Structure formats: C-alpha cells, structure tokens
Amino acid sequence: MNDVTQSENPHSRCGFVAIVGRPNVGKSTLLNHVLGQKLSITSRKPQTTRHQILGIKTEGDVQAIYVDTPGMHEDEPRALNRYMNRTASSALKHVDVVVFVVDRHHWTPADEMVLKKLEHLKCPVILAVNKVDKLERRDTLLPVLEELARKRDFAEIIPMSALKEQNLAPLEEAVARFLPESVHFYPDDQITDRSERFVASEMVREKITRQLGAELPYSVAVEIEEFKHDGKTLHISALILVEREGQKKIVIGDKGERLRSIGQEARADMERMFESKVMLRLWVKVRRGWADSDRALKSLGMNDS
C-alpha cells in the first residue's frame, strides 16, 4: 500500500471496506458505480478480477476505502486460482466493514464458503443482495431476504442493483455509519492506490476477456512495457501473454483484426481515464505455463498483499 496523506479534519470518518462474494456476483460493477467511474474491470466471465484493488471515495467528512477482491471459489487447481483465493481472503484482515455481495436468484455452495470465511470477523457485515432489478414480482423478494437473514446476524441487509444503480445510496450510508472516526488516509481527490500502468494493463485485459471470453480460458495476462508522456500524448506499449500458440492466433485474429479491435476499445477507455490522447501498441507473446507457476505470477506483479 502507498504512503498515505492524512486529512486534517479531526471529526471525519475513514476506514477500509472489503467487498467480497463468489465469482461473477457483481462486486466490481458495484465498486465502479459507487466510485462513479470504471476502476475494476468487468465481464460476464467469472473470476475476471484477479487483484485486490482499492477504490477510494471521499464525500465531505467520510472517506470509504473500498477493497474490490477476486471472487472466492472452491477449486484451487492452479497457482492463479490459489493466488486469487489468498488475495480475497487477505482483504478481510484489518478491515472496518465487509460488504458481502450475493445474487438474489439463488444461494450456492460458493456463497456458503464465503459466509464461512466471515464467521470469526468482529467487524459489521452488510449483506448486499444484488440484481433485484431482474425481479418480475416485488413480493417475491421478502421471503428471500427473510431466508438470508437467518444465515447470520448481518449488520444490515440491503437489496440493490449495482448495474442499474438502484439502492446504492442506502448501502453507502450504512457503510458510512459503521466507519470509525478517523482522519482521512488519502487525499480527497485520489480514487485508487494503484498506478496508472496497472489500470492500463487491466483495461487491455478487460477487452480481451469481453471479446474472447467464450474462446479463451483464463490464461491471459498483460504487461505494460512502456508508459510515457510525450507532450499531450501518452504512449503505452502492452504485451499480452498467453500459454499456447493457438491462443496467440485467437487473440490476433484474422489479419490482426481482433487485436486491432481490442486495442481500439482499450484506447478509448484509457483516453477517458487519463484525459489524454493515447497511442497504444499491443503485442502477443506465448509464455507457457505462467498460470500454473507461482514464480511466473510474481514476475507479473501478482504478489500476495
């Protein structure tokens, strides 16, 4: 974590809020909509989030430092999966509030596993019941909430829709109530502790995942090799790593068409985020077995927090 700059307001509130849940339940979408801009990458593919990412929101006297985490899952067959589980679990250490995100459709064994990891926490746990916008009849929600309430003594249970931004204000208000009185840890205009290079690499990975989610497994990583301002233009060079030659051909596409499409979409997001013209160059390289190797993960910056 970076060095922090503290606010001078002695009556302010500040603390860490872990967003946890099973894969693909809407944690990153929730963080992005709370912050009002894209920070965590999203896709329909489970386990898109790999890293622990801080999203910082300051409103008046309240600074909530949200920790978006990879989805916790039961199987750990590869080093990458083990890394993501460790990262998600480590987010529960030293936090002031936990937001446990579940899907209102059904409770799964993976939800039960996450709940078990929360058993010994002393901090408040808020249950955020996501995707209620998809309910055909509102009267079916109450029995679902009553059943969920029996699973743990939750500090609050809040039905909401991260994607449609429904009922997010009550969730943020609940979080604020449980934060301790404290000076602010970060400047009021800072939104993350991650570097611009990291954000750029995640933007490229999101476009790959979104465009090729059905064709490619999780064996894709992105390294930023150049990140340089030249006047009003930002030059970014990114290396896309895959495990097999066949995957490289998929990412490049016919006559380079897929790679160009990935680059165009990523560049548009980067220009909005960095408020600068971006020149983006992408390459694809085969690095066999990186997702099975703890050493390779560390070389890609996937170190346990």
> What's the pLDDT score for residue 85?
52
> What's the pLDDT score for residue 205?
87
Q: Which parts of the chain sit beneath pLDDT 50?
A: 1-7, 45-50, 73, 80, 83, 296, 299-300, 304-305
> What's the pLDDT score for residue 106?
81
In DSSP terms, 101 is beta-bridged to 128
**Contacts of 185-190 spanning 24+ positions with Cβ under 8 A:** 185/4, 185/5, 185/6, 185/14, 185/63, 185/65, 186/4, 186/5, 186/56, 186/58, 186/63, 186/65, 187/5, 188/7, 188/58, 188/63, 189/58, 190/56
Q: Which of 155, 159, 197, 198 is nearest to 179 (CA)?
A: 155
> What's the pLDDT score for residue 111?
93
Q: Which residues are annotated as a binding site?
A: 21-28, 68-72, 130-133
Please write the tens of the pLDDT for every residue from 188-224. 999 988 889 988 998 998 899 889 877 775 668 888 9
Residue 156 in tokens: 């609050």
Strand locations in the chain, DSSP E? 13-20, 53-59, 62-68, 97-103, 125-130, 156-159, 220-230, 233-242, 277-286
Please write the tens of the pLDDT for every residue from 25-69. 888 899 989 998 877 766 554 444 445 678 999 999 999 999 887
Task: Tell me whether residue 108 is exposed, middle or buried, using C-beta atoms within 10 angstroms of its C-beta: 0 to 12, 13 to 18, 19 or more.
Answer: middle
Map out the domains of the chain as residue ranges: 13-178, 196-300
Topology of the domain comprising 13-178: Rossmann fold (3.40.50)
Topology of the domain comprising 196-300: GMP Synthetase; Chain A, domain 3 (3.30.300)
Cβ burial 176-198 (10 Å sphere, 16+ → b, else e) = bebbeebbbbbeeebbbbbebbb
Q: Which residues are annotated as a binding site for GTP?
A: 21-28, 68-72, 130-133
Residue 38 in tokens: 């894209």
> What's the pLDDT score for residue 173?
97
What sign does the dihedral 275-276-281-287 (CA atoms) show?
negative
